[in-house]
Amino acid sequence: MKRPLCWISLGCFFAAVVFGYLYPADGWISPASALLGLLGLFFLLWGRTRPISLFFLSASFMLLFCLAFGYFHAAPARSLAGQNATLSGTVLETGNASFLLDGETEKGQSIKVQVWCSADMVPDRYQQFSGTVALSEITSTDRFDSENYYRSQDVWLQGRLLSGSFSGKASFSLRTWPGRLNDFLCQKIRSSLPVKYSGLVCAAILGNRSYLPDGQYELFRQLGISHLLAVSGMHLTLLSGLFSLIIGRFLRKSRAKTILFMAFVLFYMLLTGMRPSIARAGMMLLLSCVAQLILRRPDPPVSLSAAVLVMILYHPFLAVHAGFQFSICSTIGVQILAGPLSQKLLSLKKAPASQGFSYLIRSCCTALCGYACAAPLTVLYDSCLIPMSIPANLCLSPLFTLFLAVSAGLVLFCTVPVLGSVFAFGVRLFVGLFLGAANCLGRIGPKPIFGSGPALLIAVVCFSAVIGYGAFQPTFRHFAAAICLAVSVSCAAVSTQAIIENRQIHCYTVAFDKKLLQIFSYGGHAIVIGHLSAQPQIEQAALELQRERVQTIDALILLPSGGNPRVSLSELTGHFSVSAVAFSSADNLSTQAVESLAGIPAYDFDGLCLTFWQNNRIHLDGEGAVSLCIGSKKLLILPADCAILYEEEPCWDLAITCWDVPPPVSADALLCARHFWGTENQNPNSYLLPYGKGVRFRLSAG
């Protein structure tokens, strides 16, 4: 049996993912562990299936380990939910309207809390805090700021700041010095470069995206090269290679060079915050170095399996961290599949291939396999395919390598006046070339392809499996049969989804600082509700509507914002057919907004009597409430003064109201369509909490 560690790691990772998505584990963990353990013993006794027995035995062990982790580590913190606690501690991270507190209660219990506060109350990093916080379980309306992300960072609670004070910065400690050094270097880089250059350097070298302009990040996402901004194996390999070259000039003993190399890798992991992608890559490099020290040949699958196993044993909720999953899948494609696939393609050529042709084939296979393995996750989390990903990576990776090398010199010598200026000039040159090429590709290349439902995911998984199969399957006939099977399964999935797609409502929720955006899409139509008071929010709404293949916005409900008076809605009204718009008469829409609404029926938002919906069945009762049926989903819209409700339906899928308190109706989702970012609560999660990917929701305790 070859590589048993791979099967053990795979079983543990599978169990950790299941546990992470089903947590809190109440009654299912014991029978699940027993079942997996019995399956493992069964296959162990059946001598020809040893790998499967290792898989099931390790999965059952991991489930029990996760249960113990949740009971001893997470449960004590979660038991504080619903209480007002007096906390004191250190501010680790800050946001626009929140900060992450690492502190302890009056009873000495250590906890991490994501504290929501007003923007003017946000402290500096590493300041000391002492005050009272209303605690609740961690939730989020942002798909990239989810419960799984916080849990993987050991954060189980969120809180609303009731009272408190901040004092000077915490004393120097081994725990905070990497973050302090990171902040110091970022400030030095920002002082020596313009914003469009310094933000990219801080993100690519130091893993700090706080200063990255929004336009650059959107460009990277559109081209499918956002992984360049996540400090990972590519960055670590290049920088550690440069370090190895430098120390090779002074040291000749290979063992001493290996030890110094390992020290550099560990230092860089700490400097960039030990994020999952850099931690995985660093552990793989460290394991390879250990193999060299004990005179063994490094094995990428075993090194990857060992790194994954160590990390999820350290913290099981890393298994459901999106960045960790992307890192694993990309590594599988680049380090495990790309080599065999390129060798197989080169073997098809009868004559010996030239060095340039071989390099081109290897580069194409690396880009193809890396994207093929990460594409299922991209579809799962973003519901899109990015056609420009492979050509953009092929064209921009050489420029990015040069930019990374020069930026590393700037980070190293940013405090030296002459050398810092020289490297700053080099950064301007190479970053300018890189951004110019990226903008050019963004203009000439096709846009991301958005899709909803499971059909796209099934198709991508099938073709990703075919690429992996083709890397190791020697016969062309079997490979062609696999392609035909993938095409058949994908066509069947698309056909099946086309039948049921118009009977589903898809929901999207995102929080922008203190503004909420909610989209309900159904069969090419959509309802858009939100604070569209800034251009990024409008662009995000347009992006999501394209993703859901919407042509007509049946209702655009603008919640009171009191925000930017120079906002244009042309991004929505120019690209989508808008049936009607509702906004509050007390809200001052800008001249641009009014002009962009020309020719579109506009209604006063205050009553919420939205009688302009034209799809399917609509009923307007005597109290001014509107009920409508979209497919099999029932929606209810309530005006502010609707005190008595005469409805036969026992429960609604969505209720929209401008009441300050929940109305006396039963609904799976309740959206308070008012300006609910008042002083009473700074967190939208106490009003609406997404549950799953469909239209089903649940209300939080708040």
Residue 13 pLDDT? 93
Closest by alpha carbon to 622, among 586, 647, 657, 649?
Answer: 647
- Segments of the chain with pLDDT less than 70: 1-2, 25-27, 47-49, 96-97, 119, 139-146, 170, 214, 252-253, 350-351, 353, 451-453, 497-516, 522-523, 559-566, 584-595, 603-634, 637-650, 653-654, 656-702
- Residue 607 sits at φ, ψ, to 5 deg, of -85, -25
CB-facing half-sphere around the CA of 466: CA atoms within 13 A: 21
Give how far Cα 45 sits from Cα of 11, 39, 41, 50, 299, Å: 18, 10, 6, 9, 29
CB–CB of 304/284 below 8 Å? Answer: yes
Residue 690 pLDDT? 31
Token reading at 13: 């990772």
Q: How far apart are the first and last CA of the chain?
A: 54
Other beta carbons less than 10 A from residue 97's beta carbon: 19
Tell me the C-alpha distance between 52 and 627, whole Å: 54
Tell me the C-alpha distance between 541 and 525, whole Å: 14
Tell me the C-alpha distance between 379 and 453, whole Å: 10
CB–CB of 25/70 below 8 Å? Answer: yes
For residue 123, whether the previous peptide bond is cis, meaning omega lies within 30 degrees of 0, is no
Closest by alpha carbon to 311, among 343, 293, 286?
Answer: 286
Token reading at 638: 């309530």
Residue 121 pLDDT? 80
Residue 382 pLDDT? 73
Tell me the C-alpha distance between 481 and 488, whole Å: 11
Tell me the C-alpha distance between 140 and 136, whole Å: 12
Contacting residues for 636 by C-beta, under 8 A, at least 6 apart: 625, 626, 627, 647, 649, 652, 654, 655, 656, 665, 667
Give how far Cα 657 sits from Cα of 57, 637, 646, 671, 702, Å: 52, 6, 16, 7, 17
Q: Is 453 left (phi over 0), alpha (psi -120 to 50) or beta?
A: left
CB-facing half-sphere around the CA of 611: CA atoms within 13 A: 8
Buried b (16+ CB within 10 A) or exposed e, 488-515: ebbeebbeebeeebeebbbbbbbbbebb
CB–CB of 396/229 below 8 Å? Answer: no
Residue 674 pLDDT? 44
Tell me the C-alpha distance between 115 and 619, whole Å: 43
Residue 218 pLDDT? 76
Q: How does DSSP assign 346-415, residue by residue?
A: HHT-SSPPPHHHHHHHHHHHHHHHHHHHHHHHHHHHH-EE-TTHHHHHHHHHHHHHHHHHHHHHHHHHTT
Contacting residues for 45 by C-beta, under 8 A, at least 6 apart: none
**Helices and strands, counts by H and E, the chain:** 22, 21
Tell me the C-alpha distance between 131 and 269, whole Å: 33
CB–CB of 99/111 below 8 Å? Answer: no
Token reading at 615: 């799809």
Q: What single DSSP character describes residue 487?
A: H
What pTM does this model have?
0.77
Contacting residues for 532 by C-beta, under 8 A, at least 6 apart: 517, 538, 541, 558, 561, 567, 569, 572
- Residue 28 sits at φ, ψ, to 5 deg, of -90, -20
Residue 686 pLDDT? 34
CB–CB of 140/157 below 8 Å? Answer: no
Placement of tokens 């007002």 in the chain: 84
